[in-house]
């Protein structure tokens, strides 16, 4: 029985990623972002802003009520 590797744990933190050109990657992401933004109408932008506001409001509500036990906000969602 091979006992040499029994105590060795796999190292998931080694840098096994390929070398990436970060500037080119960022440029590609910016091109995609600009392409998507150019196709948005004002109605789409208004909807996205509304969804962002709802998300922020829900986050704030979660932080405000997180210390309460039992939390009065959570049970209606389960």
pLDDT tens-digit series, residues 66-78: 777 776 666 666 6
What's residue 78's pLDDT? 61
What's residue 8's pLDDT? 58
Q: Is this prediction's pTM over 0.85? A: no
Count of residues for the chain? 78
Q: What mean pLDDT, rounded, does the chain reach?
A: 80
Domain boundaries in the chain? 41-78
| 9-28: b (≥16 Cβ within 10 Å) or e | eeeeeeeeeeeeeeeeeeee
Task: Tell me the pLDDT tens digit for each residue of 32-49.
Answer: 999 988 988 999 999 999
Higher-confidence residue of 70 and 22: namely 22
Mean pLDDT to the nearest integer, 23-31: 95
Q: Kindly report the CA angle at 28 between 56 and 19, in degrees rounded to 5? A: 105
């Amino acid at each position: 029985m091979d006992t040499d590797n029994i105590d060795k744990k796999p190292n998931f933190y080694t840098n096994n990623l390929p070398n990436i050109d970060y500037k080119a990657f960022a440029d590609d992401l910016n091109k995609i972002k600009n392409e998507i933004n150019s196709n948005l109408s004002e109605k789409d932008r208004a909807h996205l802003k509304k969804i962002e506001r709802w998300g922020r409001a829900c986050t704030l509500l979660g932080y405000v009520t997180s210390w309460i036990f039992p939390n009065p906000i959570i049970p209606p969602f389960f």
